[in-house]
């Protein structure tokens, strides 16, 4: 069966520090991969999605970047964190190129910026 | 452009009472519809999905939802809730067209609070 892992579960970082969040999927090949941010009272905001290695689409301009160095690995990064980057970050995967398949979510990373 | 509206941000209800969480969407094309549940400090878990066929969809944990095309709604219902149903519920829509990236548009969520 397929599983998705995100780490770390929680992270406290100072303003201006770098960030790297990692997400890996097991048990499937060539998945679509997604990064979301969930801020209090604002629902889920899609940040990035990827349909293949090295293919990244950004949904909103921001202080973050994403990379997909391997088929089942998706990394969210920042060179210098802002206070506004605080939130709950969720990684998800779905069957590639199919809009009728649900997305499957990891357990998330709670990021607090001080 | 598609959008999803969850009409209630919070729904308090007593244990064993019925509940309905409302979801409306807007789209100029046919869509697929999903409901997810999120327990505190966890990711989202799929409750149910509507792809085609019968408009009444049954999901996990005793939940069901009815797709109403004329009213562009996909309301979630449960006849008798438990304390353990306390969570946040998200409605989502995916555009039905070939070659899609599978992107979902989420509503802002409804927090269901079940009281004893």
Question: Residue B100's domain is classified under what CATH number?
Answer: 2.60.40.10
- In the prediction, which pLDDT does B83 show? 96
Q: Which residues of B touch A44 (CB under 8 A)?
A: 44, 90, 106
SS3 A2: coil
pLDDT over 70 (residue B97): no
Q: Would you say B110 and B24 are in contact if contact means Cβ atoms under 8 Å apart?
A: no
Instruction: Calculate mean pLDDT across residues A3-19.
Output: 95
Give the C-alpha separation, B74 to B22, whole Å. 7
The pLDDT, as a whole number, for residue B86 is 97
C-alpha A63/C-alpha A79 separation (Å) is 8
- Token pair recorded at residue A45: 């905001």
B3 close contact with A: CB closer than 8 A:
no
Residue B55 near residue B68, CB atoms below 8 Å: yes
All structural domains of chain A, each given as residue ranges with its CATH number in brackets, are 3-113 (2.60.40.10)
Asked if B51 reaches chain A (Cβ–Cβ under 8 Å), the answer is yes
Q: Flag if B96 and A100 touch (Cβ within 8 Å).
A: yes
Measured between beta carbons, the chain B residues lying within 8 angstroms of A51 are 101
**Percent of residues, chain A, with pLDDT higher than 70:** 95
How far does B113 lie from chain A, in Å, by closest CA?
Answer: 16
Predicted pLDDT of residue B44: 94
Residue-wise pLDDT for B2-45, tens only, equals 789 999 999 999 999 999 999 999 887 778 899 999 998 889 99
Of B36, B97, B106, the CB nearest to A99: B97
Q: For residue A97, how many other CB atoms are within 10 A of its CB?
A: 15
Name the minimum distance, in Å, from the CA of A113 to any CA of chain B: 17
Expressed as residue numbers, the domain containing B78 is 3-115
Nearest to B103 among A43, A49, A102 (CB): A49
Contact yes or no for A96 and B107 at CB 8 A: no
Strands A3-7 and A55-58: unpaired
Q: How many domains does chain B have?
A: 1
pLDDT band at B116 (very low <50, low <70, confident <90, very high): very high
Instruction: With beta carbons less than 8 A apart as the criterion, state whether B93 and B1 touch.
Output: no
What DSSP designation does B99 have? Answer: T
CA distance A66 to A52: 13
DSSP state of A108: -
- Whether B6 contacts B92, CB under 8 Å: no
CA distance B35 to B76: 8
Would the CB atoms of A105 and B45 count as touching at under 8 Å? yes
Write down the residue that tokens 């999605």 correspond to.
A49
Contact A105 B100 (CB under 8 A): no
Q: What is the mean pLDDT of residues B99-112?
A: 80
Q: What angle do CA A17, A58, A112 make, to 5 degrees?
A: 30
- Residue B109: count of CB within 10 angstroms of its CB: 24
Percent of chain B topping pLDDT 70: 94
> What confidence tens digit (pLDDT) does each residue in A51-95 have?
899 999 887 767 899 999 999 999 999 999 999 999 999 999 998
B55-83 pLDDT, tens digit each: 999 999 999 999 999 999 999 999 999 99
The pLDDT, as a whole number, for residue A40 is 75
CB-based contact A97 B43, cutoff 8 Å? no
Average per-residue pLDDT in chain A?
A: 91
């Amino acid at each position: 069966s397929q599983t998705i892992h995100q780490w770390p579960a929680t992270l406290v970082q100072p303003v201006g520090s770098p960030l790297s969040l990692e997400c890996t999927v097991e048990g499937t090949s060539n998945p679509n991969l997604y990064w979301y941010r969930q801020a209090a009272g604002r629902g889920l905001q899609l940040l990035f999605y990827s349909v293949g290695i090295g293919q990244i689409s950004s949904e909103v301009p921001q202080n973050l970047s994403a990379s997909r160095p391997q088929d089942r690995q998706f990394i969210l990064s920042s060179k210098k964190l802002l206070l506004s980057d605080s939130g709950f970050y969720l990684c998800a995967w779905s069957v590639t190129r199919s809009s009728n398949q649900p997305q499957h979510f990891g357990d998330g990373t709670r990021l607090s910026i001080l | 452009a598609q959008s999803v509206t969850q009409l209630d941000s919070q729904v308090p209800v007593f244990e064993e009472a019925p509940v309905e969480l409302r979801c409306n969407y807007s789209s100029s094309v046919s869509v697929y519809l999903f409901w997810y549940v999120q327990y505190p400090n966890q990711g989202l878990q799929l409750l149910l999905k509507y792809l085609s066929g019968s408009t009444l969809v049954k999901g996990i944990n005793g939940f069901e939802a009815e797709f109403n095309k004329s009213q562009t709604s996909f309301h979630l219902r449960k006849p008798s809730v438990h304390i353990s149903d306390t969570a946040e519920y998200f409605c989502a829509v995916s555009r039905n067209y070939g070659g899609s990236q599978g992107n979902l548009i989420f509503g802002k969520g409804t927090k269901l609070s079940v009281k004893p």
